[in-house]
Structure 1
């Protein structure tokens, strides 16, 4: 290229240069630059070297040496070579490098601040030593920085193109006896500046090293001319062995990490737009592999083959952190609660001392020794500054694959374990807003999982520990908890196994498969979600639940549908407490469950629907005989309310039921032995008693038609076995019993102290029985007795706890093929029982009851039929009962040798009670108080019947009097003293006696004449005078040629004195005479006295009088009473001592009757 020297600009430059001033100035500048170069190249390196070594040695208290200093004054560059810095008073190298080159930019002149165009460090080396607990070999250097006063203004500088090549850092940890090495360190930093400068950047961000053998690569890229300006960095870290660095946690760990490797592949992008805030965008993945966490004793806590975190350009400087995915693969988490009740996971947390100061190092054994020796140094203390809260966090996907969670409770009083095995769980679109305290999850899904819970047997003695009540301050609005909302939860193909091994036989309940769907679930106040659950229960059963669900407060409006759920798996909970075994039973139900929680925590609402306990069968656990079964027990229209409690049932229906009730040889009913008195005690319900120590009978299904049960018959029979303490009142009706209160004062006071319990509202509109079968056996009686109740059915309507209401009863059935009916009104749900019931049985055969008659009466029954009509009324706890028994053709057999039988005149009683048609019709009115502890309905009836029979021997005429009138006075007939003529008053008795003999053709009458005593003798003498007077009148009638009346003669009062005087005159005893020797005429009274005094009445005369009386009575009965003569017998007369017979209640002038 040819330059035009004639150009005007060239000509002007020549002119300027030719000036003397310009020449002198140019020569001066040339000399200065020559001298500056000579000084910089040859003089200044020596000065810098000596001064730098001197200053560094003095300031750092370490010997510093520089091998060579090279300065390029024109390039404004400085190079230090072979630098070494030794440890204090040691020849050990603390730090060194091969070369440090600094190239200063000319911009430093006009910016009045250092602007470094390039900084390059070759082969740097640093040796760090941790000498003891809190002492490092750089503590003295760090303390120098702490002593310097902070600058009021930030430092002004710019450093560009920073490069470190082939660096090495060795960290020697003497307390832990380990060494960490950072080798092959390469670092590239484009710039570090606090000044706006325009310097060419040719270094890209980069960091690479080998950290304890693990390669680390950090690469970046600067786009200075992009809009917005952007700098990018890539970090690649593979296989970092994390357990090596647990020693430097800021607390004493209570756990071990046998293995864990960290892989990081992240990209950071820093953007600075012209307007608005800067952004630091992170993207990439971080993965922890082969993570294992154990307790200090080596017990596994956590196994996690892989935990990965993926970010998609999230701005960590913004107000929202976006995490694309968090995934856990193969998680195994084990948590336990030890015998002291402490959770194992809590034991892994740092203690309060260790965690008290953020950033504090953990205290190793070296630190403890240093603290004990007083040599510990407090260095590097920094103030605790909590990290800034993240306002929002969004997680796109949280996936858990093939995970297992296990929990075990080792407390001796309630050991248990729970776990979820091999499950997958996915959470989608999780949003956390800390400022609003909300957590929103769009969806939770899972395709499989297995949930298990197991309770084990207690292994030790429970030690009660006092409860610690912690006072909790009131929660303010700002302290309120987070609101969690889940859009949808969908679990499919799950299963659950609930196992209770604390029982003698494990109880296992299984639900599989389980399908659960929930939408709109939230802890927000009054939020409502929807729930749909379907599960198979114990294989054959089905459970379905759907409806609305609220969490805060609790609210449910759910439809429940339970179909044929086998409840046998629940049997182990009661098997040790009962003597029966359930062989089958299922539960079904359908209805609505509505619950609401009030502010005070009380639940309101209830359940409406139908429930069926169906196909129930039980057997005797020892004999395997059937005990109780039914086809269906249906509860229709159930309405249960919780607050206040009430129960209403539209219909209860028991269909095709059957049971077995037995009285054992000791008189105990088997229903009393359903529940065991002591756990483990075994007793047969359907067989003879079994020795629990030797029996190993197993319960299996028996023939369903083998046996039957009758509760009502068994109850009556058991009651009849007990002797009632109530007795008839003396002199009262033998058929009427009024038990007297015999309760002890303690019982009375306890009864008085008991406060009345108010019954909750209970209503059962209709109770239906159908197809009932009952079989009853009494082994207490020898021989045994068995009765069958068949075709039991009927209706009870209107059951209610309302005191003003009563239920109607209409039941039908058969007792040993005899029709049975029960009808009336009852209110068993009332606080005090109220009833008005009538029951009837017709033509029940009595021969099967022969064991009972033999047991209690001593005679078997050959034949007969029983019909009865009973009426029971209970009001105000007072019982009034009418029992009418009709025994047709009752015939007793031979006497039975029974130790418990009373010696009673059974045949006589039957003869007394049975009418001419062979029918015994008895009415037994009974009354008593239910509050009397001695009151027993069945016992009283038996007692009355026994007393009735006993009356045949002790007071047969009282028995007849109760039937035909007359009472006990029918047993005798009184005569006038000395007379054998039936008095008119006695004829009424004889009429009643004749009627009884006519109606009771099986009985015979015996008549015994009685006489004796002074009054009898006086009467006998007066009767002899009367006979003589009548005899005289008969003679006079005959002398007149008149006939004597057939009915005899009657002496009229006006005739008596004349006839008596003639009889007196004819007597041969000495008589009073007058002065002339003639018999005196005496008044009637005087004549009677003299005749009585001179008349004898011997014992033979009195005996003859008694016989005459008996004959007179017999003649009357045969003639007037039409009683056959073969049924009336006269016994030899017997004397009667006056005032001694029957405590003076009877006259000795009588006849006595006896019955045979």
Structure 2
């Protein structure tokens, strides 16, 4: 209730009392009026009490009424006079008194306007400015309003309903001598005498500061710096002070919830204060204007509570401020990033037992606890975090001189900084594909220490992260960790200790898309046309001189991990899951080594590694152990571009590994078991084995080399099939792309591979090979089993050849053997191979004999020896085919098949032991695109058969190694068998004796021209020799005629005279010259005149046949019954003579 209301109550009570209605009309009073009425009623003044005790006579009542009328009139007059005084005279007096007071203490006070409102008991001052002695402003305000309650003075209190300051400005300055301007003002205003009594109590219902400003300057400590706090808004209500033991107490309310309490001491010269301050539930938005220069964010929600002890004084050059036993709390804090796209929500931030020392630049908290938080951030396309825009622009780096003289920085120590129940999310738009990284933090705690020179120590790090995920926006996670724990990590100086790191349920999903790009590569890729980032600045001189970082990796423990590999580039997509994965990494004490262990499960298989890791040298050594790792999931890689499948297969290994940056080495044993490669729809596997074991395996890098002491291939199986078009299944299945032209052979210098290998011994045990040919009608099939042997000395060393020795069984009784040597890297340059098939049933080859030769075979055995050598891609082969006891069946009458004269060939080629033994030398050039080794061997065999039919003697000569054994020849005009021909006839008789099924038909032959001329020559020459007295022995060849001999010349004339005529001789002698040419001319004329008729030629032919028959039967009489002389026939003579007609037939 204000003063005006009090005055109205007093006047009303006075009127009621004058009319004797005070008791009857008490109900007419209001609440406050009733309170005054009770005072008057229960505690009347002595005068009223004395008057009421006297007899109440009529004159007395009249006098009393007159008295109260006078009193009321006086009060009304005084009341009106006081209002007029306050309204009109008092403002000028107040201004003059205030200005005069300021002048008395050496200051200057400016007041623009003064207004007093008696009805409201309020005072308004406008344009107030108080200046110091030097003219600087101490205090200024645009408007000051005070609504007072004067009645409180009656009980010794200062009480005001409202104190409002609009745009107040306070300048707090310490001069160079250390004195403060406000302290000097208070000292001058208080006077020299000590204050008497205690300060009055002050009650203020409402204090309002609007758009205030505080200027703080220290010309002694920092003359160039001024603290300017602007836009200060403050509202306090229920503000009170009271003196007590040890100082004052101030309590205030700010808004509906905020409470402020101060208890402490205050000294003015020098300015000093100490005490305890408590603030509760202060909206953070109310103080945000003071933080806006440091955090450019919109005012947040949330409430701040503080409770602290403080000590403040300005005795020295630097202000002294110490805060201790500092406890604080921010509840329900919410902030938004400058761009408004991210937010931070904090359930509670609690500060415990803090100490701040302004002089020492130190800040300490026993504990800071942030709980129930949630924060998200955005990294934009330029790579900047959106929250960083809230920080002010960085100040330029100080010059070296300024940096050296600068005040040391703050020392901050937080014994425990703890986060509980947090969630965070980072959206990254700087990559080609937007990413999201998020997790929850159930618990994280660490100690923090920041030195004055920027030294940072972080200790006792303990953290738990849950549900950590990295994923493309809107897609499943690529990386996730169910639980990540870190304990015991620290950072001290330039030393980092990793502590103990625990990963539970980590999962990494690697995917290769149809273009062959890994998902992790695409995730980290930057957008097209954008650089990867700014180049790192060159290290400063200080950084170069600083000691290197010492990093101790954490002890790592991983459990229940999972690795998923997906490959969509292949025609058959692959998905491999390795789970669970567990492992640990434990550092050694005193060195940089770590003990490492890894255990990976893949289906029913398992992979283990135990060893040591040296991060300092990037070295690794240990032992890998694989147990039954399934290979079926990897079959699309091994069988790409095919329809084959590998439903099983297991890998086992025990390997020692040594790795260093200079190279690596692997030693041990390995094996692949139970491999079966199948074709769609086929029951039997195409390829497989029970076990492929490698012993003494060595792999090394720099240079890359592979060495195996022994390879054992146990029970391999293979199936080779030719389809109806005679195309092999291997060619069909593995021809994933159109056949490319064969590349030209590389030079020796360019053909050497950087990979070197050496296999000491390869063993094959109990192999099975099935062969089928569906291009034959009927189809052909055979089975090679029990294939065993060795391949030794396989090496990539130049010039070294490996040896091959394999043997197996064919069907029931046949066998196959492979022997030889080859150079693995240059097979076509150096190879010597022998392939032997023995005792193969010919009946199993009926398909080929029917389709290729046109015959069915009822019985017989086949042995084949294929021997070839390769030298610089040139092939030379010596092949042998042996057929035992062949028995031909009927000829096959089928359209579209070729026929060979096998019946005759068998009769000719088969010896007395029912064996056909053929040698088929072949040769060729591997660079010839039409070259085929199988085709060359087959063509050689076909040629032999065809020669038997067309030229049996030439075929036999080829078998016996005799050149020209294709016929028996006689000199023209002669019937004598020359010695070379005798030898041929003897060998022919020998072969016939060994082949009783053969018959020989011979016939004498003549050449009408050559034999006729030679018979005439022989008759003339014999007559010449007879005339010369030369006698010839039986079978003696006819000698030549020497026309230069005188006796022979005389014999020529005798012969000419007898056979041509003496007259002609005389005529020739008269006209010719007597020289050798003359006698040769006589001889030739006699030969031309000699007459040889057909009977002579027939006789010559028969004589030739008889002579040949005689020589055939002389040595081998048993063939006489199988030699028949047929009628003579004409023949064409050659330079070698006239051939005898010979024909081989069968019985």
Same-fold status (TM-score > 0.5) = yes
The equivalences for 1:678-757 within 5 A come to 678=737, 751=746, 755-757=750-752
Deviations 1:783-829 (A, max 9, x none): 22212111111122222222243333332211223232333433314
Residue of structure 2 in register with 1:400 after alignment:
464
Residue of structure 1 in register with 2:952 after alignment:
956
Taking a change above 3 Å as real, the CA distance of residues 332 and 786 of structure 1, as seen in their structure-2 partners, is farther
Query: Is 1:1151 matched with 2:1146?
Result: no
Q: 2:207 aligns with which of 99, 119, 124?
A: 124
Query: Is 1:549 matched with 2:613?
Result: yes
- Secondary structure in structure 1 of the residue aligned to 2:553: strand
The equivalences for 1:367-382 within 5 A come to none
Q: 2:163 aligns with which of 76, 80, 83?
A: 83
Q: Provide the TM-score with structure 1 as the length reference.
A: 0.66
The equivalences for 1:208-607 within 5 A come to 208-210=281-283, 214-221=302-309, 231-240=324-333, 242=334, 245-246=335-336, 249=337, 251-253=338-340, 255-257=341-343, 260-270=345-355, 280-289=364-373, 291=375, 321-322=413-414, 324=416, 326-327=418-419, 329=421, 331=423, 333=425, 340-341=432-433, 343=435, 390-408=454-472, 417-421=477-481, 423-433=482-492, 435-436=493-494, 438-446=495-503, 448-455=504-511, 457-458=513-514, 465=528, 468=531, 478=543, 483-500=550-567, 506-520=573-587, 527-538=592-603, 540-573=604-637, 577-598=641-662, 604-607=663-666
Shift, 1:555, TM fit? 1.1
- Secondary structure in structure 2 of the residue aligned to 1:123: strand
Shift, 1:633, TM fit? 0.8
Number of residue pairs aligned between Structure 1 and Structure 2: 894
CA separation in 1, counterparts of 2:661 and 2:322?
59
Indicate conservation of the 8 Å contact 1:616/1:629, yes or no.
Answer: yes
Indicate conservation of the 8 Å contact 1:442/1:488, yes or no.
Answer: yes
Taking a change above 3 Å as real, the CA distance of residues 783 and 474 of structure 1, as seen in their structure-2 partners, is farther
Taking a change above 3 Å as real, the CA distance of residues 498 and 400 of structure 1, as seen in their structure-2 partners, is farther
- Secondary structure in structure 2 of the residue aligned to 1:577: coil
The equivalences for 1:964-1043 within 5 A come to 964=960, 966-977=962-973, 979-983=974-978, 986-1020=981-1015
CA separation in 2, counterparts of 1:889 and 1:993?
22
CA separation in 1, counterparts of 2:1059 and 2:596?
131
Taking a change above 3 Å as real, the CA distance of residues 854 and 189 of structure 1, as seen in their structure-2 partners, is farther
Q: 1:912 aligns with which of 895, 908, 914?
A: 908
Indicate conservation of the 8 Å contact 2:167/2:210, yes or no.
Answer: no
Residue of structure 1 in register with 2:759 after alignment:
764
- Secondary structure in structure 2 of the residue aligned to 1:289: strand
Shift, 1:197, TM fit? 6.7
Indicate conservation of the 8 Å contact 1:104/1:118, yes or no.
Answer: no
The equivalences for 1:815-964 within 5 A come to 815-816=810-811, 817-829=813-825, 833-896=829-892, 902-964=898-960
Taking a change above 3 Å as real, the CA distance of residues 949 and 289 of structure 1, as seen in their structure-2 partners, is same
Query: Is 1:616 matched with 2:675?
Result: yes
- Secondary structure in structure 1 of the residue aligned to 2:794: strand
CA separation in 1, counterparts of 2:1088 and 2:735?
88
The equivalences for 1:601-680 within 5 A come to 604-678=663-737
Q: 1:802 aligns with which of 797, 801, 806?
A: 797
Taking a change above 3 Å as real, the CA distance of residues 151 and 1118 of structure 1, as seen in their structure-2 partners, is closer
CA separation in 1, counterparts of 2:929 and 2:749?
15
Indicate conservation of the 8 Å contact 1:1030/1:1050, yes or no.
Answer: no
Indicate conservation of the 8 Å contact 1:490/1:517, yes or no.
Answer: yes
CA separation in 2, counterparts of 1:1050 and 1:827?
60
Shift, 1:617, TM fit? 1.5
Indicate conservation of the 8 Å contact 1:395/1:428, yes or no.
Answer: no
Deviations 1:981-1033 (A, max 9, x none): 445554233223222322333333232322233442245457789999999xx
Shift, 1:655, TM fit? 0.6
Deviations 1:144-185 (A, max 9, x none): 9999x9957999xxx9868461234xxxxxxxxxxxxx8535
Indicate conservation of the 8 Å contact 1:205/1:233, yes or no.
Answer: no
Shift, 1:594, TM fit? 1.1
Residue of structure 2 in register with 1:371 after alignment:
none
Taking a change above 3 Å as real, the CA distance of residues 1050 and 949 of structure 1, as seen in their structure-2 partners, is closer
Shift, 1:647, TM fit? 1.2
Taking a change above 3 Å as real, the CA distance of residues 832 and 519 of structure 1, as seen in their structure-2 partners, is farther
Taking a change above 3 Å as real, the CA distance of residues 146 and 405 of structure 1, as seen in their structure-2 partners, is farther
- Secondary structure in structure 2 of the residue aligned to 1:584: coil
CA separation in 1, counterparts of 2:1039 and 2:938?
60
Residue of structure 1 in register with 2:768 after alignment:
773
Taking a change above 3 Å as real, the CA distance of residues 570 and 1095 of structure 1, as seen in their structure-2 partners, is closer
Taking a change above 3 Å as real, the CA distance of residues 966 and 265 of structure 1, as seen in their structure-2 partners, is closer
Shift, 1:231, TM fit? 2.5
CA separation in 2, counterparts of 1:120 and 1:282?
38
Shift, 1:877, TM fit? 4.2
CA separation in 2, counterparts of 1:1086 and 1:546?
112
Deviations 1:26-77 (A, max 9, x none): xxxxxxxxxxxxx99995599799838344489999851323589999x999
Q: Provide the TM-score with structure 2 as the length reference.
A: 0.66
Indicate conservation of the 8 Å contact 1:594/1:605, yes or no.
Answer: yes
Shift, 1:781, TM fit? 2.4
Taking a change above 3 Å as real, the CA distance of residues 1133 and 454 of structure 1, as seen in their structure-2 partners, is same
Deviations 1:849-877 (A, max 9, x none): 22223333332333221223444434444
Shift, 1:834, TM fit? 3.1
Taking a change above 3 Å as real, the CA distance of residues 109 and 586 of structure 1, as seen in their structure-2 partners, is farther
Taking a change above 3 Å as real, the CA distance of residues 322 and 876 of structure 1, as seen in their structure-2 partners, is farther
Larger radius of gyration: 2
Residue of structure 1 in register with 2:1123 after alignment:
1128
Taking a change above 3 Å as real, the CA distance of residues 566 and 890 of structure 1, as seen in their structure-2 partners, is same
CA separation in 1, counterparts of 2:1065 and 2:573?
127
CA separation in 2, counterparts of 1:777 and 1:1007?
47
- Secondary structure in structure 2 of the residue aligned to 1:667: coil
CA separation in 1, counterparts of 2:929 and 2:1059?
78
Indicate conservation of the 8 Å contact 2:362/2:412, yes or no.
Answer: no
Deviations 1:414-468 (A, max 9, x none): x9841325x22221122123x42x321321234x324141527459999995685
Deviations 1:65-113 (A, max 9, x none): 323589999x99998863335589xxxxxxxxxxxxx99799987999x
CA separation in 2, counterparts of 1:974 and 1:1074?
35
CA separation in 1, counterparts of 2:917 and 2:456?
96
Indicate conservation of the 8 Å contact 2:374/2:424, yes or no.
Answer: no
Q: Which runs of 5+ in 2 are unaligned?
A: 1-92, 103-108, 113-124, 131-136, 169-183, 228-245, 286-300, 314-320, 387-407, 439-449, 1027-1032, 1041-1046, 1067-1078
Indicate conservation of the 8 Å contact 1:167/1:183, yes or no.
Answer: yes
Give the stretch that moved more between structures: 641-650 or 50-59. Answer: 50-59
Taking a change above 3 Å as real, the CA distance of residues 395 and 1089 of structure 1, as seen in their structure-2 partners, is closer
Taking a change above 3 Å as real, the CA distance of residues 205 and 943 of structure 1, as seen in their structure-2 partners, is same
Indicate conservation of the 8 Å contact 2:461/2:490, yes or no.
Answer: no
Shift, 1:904, TM fit? 3.5
Shift, 1:565, TM fit? 0.9
